[in-house]
Amino acid sequence: MVKTPAKNKKYTQRRRVKVRAEQGYVKRQQQDSCAHLRMRAMLTLFVLCLGFSSIGLQLGHVALAPAQEPRASIRDLPPVPTKRGDIYDAHGQLLATTLEVPSVYADPKRVLDAEETAEKLAGILPQVNQKRLSKILGNNKRRFAWVQRQITPEQAFQINTLGLPGISFRYEQVRVYPQRRLAAHVLGGINVDGRGLAGVESSFDEKLMKGKDVHLTLDSRLQEQLRESLAEAYEESSAKGAWGIVLDARTGDIRAMASLPDYDPNHYGNASNAEKFNPMTFGRYEMGSTFKLFTLAQGLAEGVVTPESEVDCRKPLKIGKYTIRDYHAKKRVLTATEVLRYSSNIGAAQIADAFGGDQQRAFFSQLGLLEPLDVGLPEMIAPSYPANWGRVHTITMSFGHGIAVTPLQLAAAVATVSTDGHYRRPRLIADWSHDKPRPVLGANTVAQVKELMRDVVINGSGRKAQVAGLDIGGKTGTAEKVSRKGGYSESKNLVSFVGAVPLDKPELVTLIMVDEPKKGYETGGRIAGPAFQSFVRRSMPLLAMAPQPQQAVQVARKQGGIKKQGERIYASIQPIGTTTR
């Protein structure tokens, strides 16, 4: 019996089982593959979402960040400093302050068209070099570059309306001097980063940078009158320079201090070195005959002479190889009063020779003429005088040669001998305490010195300094300038006039100096004296100085031997408000 069908049946069953197993394996494989694909898809989707989220966050940060300070350039921009302190005069008049102004800068990486942007900016900002700016804006590796600092609000508005990508603004501080040139050498100036370069701006830079104010002793009204009077003399005499100082004789406070040529502190960088130079505290000069005031004062104090003492001035005085001559020699015996009146070198030399070099040096020291004078300005220089103070030096210094001091030192010394005999250290900064006045001369000597100064103005070389109705005393000075080749120049003079007003109880001591005036103005009496007169006339209304003609005539009559001369002098002077030369 054949069993083939049974075998076939079993085979068929095994075949079916095998096929089913294979089908199940394939199905499982397919399921595993689908799951893997789903996982990869989800992972890819997650990565994409994370990437887009990151991009979205960055775009949001860029959109919300301040446009004027791109992230990459923040470290390139200096922090905005504390507002710099202001500077005021003695009456609260604003002399220097700080304002906020826009500055324009670029983020080159955000600039779309460098050439077009540069062209449009140059059309609004004439100081911008278009070609150079285009090159800067085209460098997209940079994130920050100044286009122009401290532009006007109008320029900022015009640039803003252009809507240029990559161009933004930052507000900076700019120093403003509302009085412009009025007190340039006192105030000084600052650089573009707001740091002081000269004057009070430099010496008080740290204080001002902290936002603290500085108050000066200057009176802007007197400062203006002084500068105008100097400008008249400067222009009329075609001088190289002119400067002046006004001291309060009662306190030593500096009420005015001006120099020409000067500059506008608002444009400090445009000023020349000659314009920036401050001769009042940083220049030292041989002052010439104004030093005869000190010689006569010391002679009177030492008892060497009296106002009536006679001094032989008939011929030049020979000291070793040197010969002392007078500019306008009288060739006769002069009284001590006349020695100052006619500014006799011969007479001053003999008086100084009588009291000697040691006494002269000690007296000059008491007058503050031998040490640097610090009034709060960085421009300060020490006086110059011989280390070996011999007889020849004593004689030449008696008439202002051989010793060089600053104009401020001279003014302070004259205030001493013409006020009450006490030396008061000049003060420019209002919150600096006054030094205790130092006694130098007695009251009797000061009274005699005042009479000598009054005589110079009424009868001597200072006649053109007179003002009708005011009691004025002073002294002219004419000094030949030291030549670079050695010795003294015969064609270049430094001329001056220093005076006190009103002389009975001085309120102001004023020094006027003119450097290298042209021929015809080469003496102190011809140009510095009239400039002093001009300043006093201008200042009388401000100081409430009422003219008293009769009192002035009486003062003139007191001078021996002049009788009606006082009436003639004062009658010839023009009314207040005009200026004579």
Q: How far apart are CA 257 and CA 220, in angstroms?
A: 10
Cross-strand partners of 260? 242
Q: How far apart are CA 429 and CA 377, in angstroms?
A: 10
The residue annotated as part of the active site, out of 229, 237, 259, 289, is: 289
One pLDDT digit (tens) per residue for the chain, 581 residues: 444 555 566 666 666 656 565 566 555 666 666 666 677 767 676 666 666 666 666 555 544 544 444 444 544 565 666 889 999 999 999 999 999 889 999 999 899 999 999 999 999 999 999 999 999 998 888 889 999 988 988 999 999 999 999 999 988 888 999 999 999 999 999 987 889 999 999 999 999 999 999 999 999 999 999 999 999 999 999 999 999 999 999 999 999 999 999 999 999 999 999 999 999 999 999 999 999 999 999 999 999 999 999 999 999 988 888 899 988 888 999 999 999 999 999 999 999 999 999 999 999 999 999 999 999 999 999 999 999 999 999 999 999 999 999 999 999 999 999 999 999 999 999 999 998 999 999 999 999 999 999 999 999 999 999 998 889 999 999 988 877 776 777 778 999 999 999 999 999 999 999 999 999 998 999 999 999 999 999 998 888 776 665 555 555 555 444 444 434 333 333 333 323 23
Which parts of 483-578 are beta strand (E)?
Answer: 488-501, 508-515
**Does residue 178 have a cis bond before it (omega within 30 degrees)?**
no
**Cβ count near 193 (within 10 Å):** 10
Range list of H helices, 188-264 = 199-203, 205-209, 220-236
Q: Where are the domains of the chain?
A: 87-215, 222-263+280-571
- Predicted confidence at residue 32, as pLDDT, reads 60
Range list of H helices, 237-329 = 273-276, 279-282, 292-302
Q: How far apart are CA 391 and CA 404, in angstroms?
A: 18
DSSP-based three-state secondary structure for 467: coil
Q: How far apart are CA 576 and CA 534, in angstroms?
A: 9
Q: Is-catalytic flag, 289?
A: yes
**One fold for 87-215 and 222-263+280-571:** no
Architecture of domain 222-263+280-571: 3-Layer(aba) Sandwich (3.40)
**Cβ count near 66 (within 10 Å):** 10
CA angle in degrees (0–180, nearest 5) for 346-404-301: 55
pTM for this structure?
A: 0.77
Cross-strand partners of 167? 106
Q: How far apart are CA 9 and CA 81, in angstroms?
A: 103
Cβ 424 vs Cβ 252: under 8 Å: yes
Range list of H helices, 288-390 = 292-302, 336-341, 345-355, 357-366
Element holding 246 (H helix, E strand)? strand 241-248
Smallest CA-to-CA distance from 188 within 469, 477, 536, 428 is with: 428
Smallest CA-to-CA distance from 551 within 567, 537, 538, 539 is with: 567
Element holding 286 (H helix, E strand)? strand 285-286
| Encoded amino acid at 94, one letter | L
Residue tagged 């030192």 (tokens): 409
Cβ 253 vs Cβ 424: under 8 Å: no
DSSP state of 82: P
Residues sharing a CB contact under 8 Å with residue 272, sequence separation 6 or more, in sequence order: 263
Radius of gyration of the chain (CA): 42
Conformation bin of residue 501: beta by default, left when phi > 0, alpha when psi is -120 to 50: beta
Phi and psi torsions of 124, nearest 5°: -100, -35
Q: How far apart are CA 45 and CA 57, in angstroms?
A: 18
Cross-strand partners of 510? 246, 499
Read off the pLDDT of residues 162-191 as tens digits, 9 standing for 90 and up: 999 999 998 888 899 999 999 999 999 998
Read off the pLDDT of residues 400-452 as tens digits, 9 standing for 90 and up: 999 999 999 999 999 999 999 999 999 999 999 998 999 999 999 999 999 99
In a 10 Å sphere around its CB, with 0-12 CB exposed, 13-18 middle and 19+ buried, how is residue 438 labelled? Answer: middle
- Predicted confidence at residue 562, as pLDDT, reads 40
Distance of CA 133 to the CA centre of its chain: 35
Smallest CA-to-CA distance from 187 within 197, 195, 575 is with: 197
- Predicted confidence at residue 27, as pLDDT, reads 59
Domain 87-215 has CATH 3.90.1310.10: yes
The two counts, helices (H) then strands (E), for the chain are 20, 20
Cβ 526 vs Cβ 520: under 8 Å: yes
Phi and psi torsions of 99, nearest 5°: -120, 155
Q: What does the block give as tokens for 152?
A: 């006007």
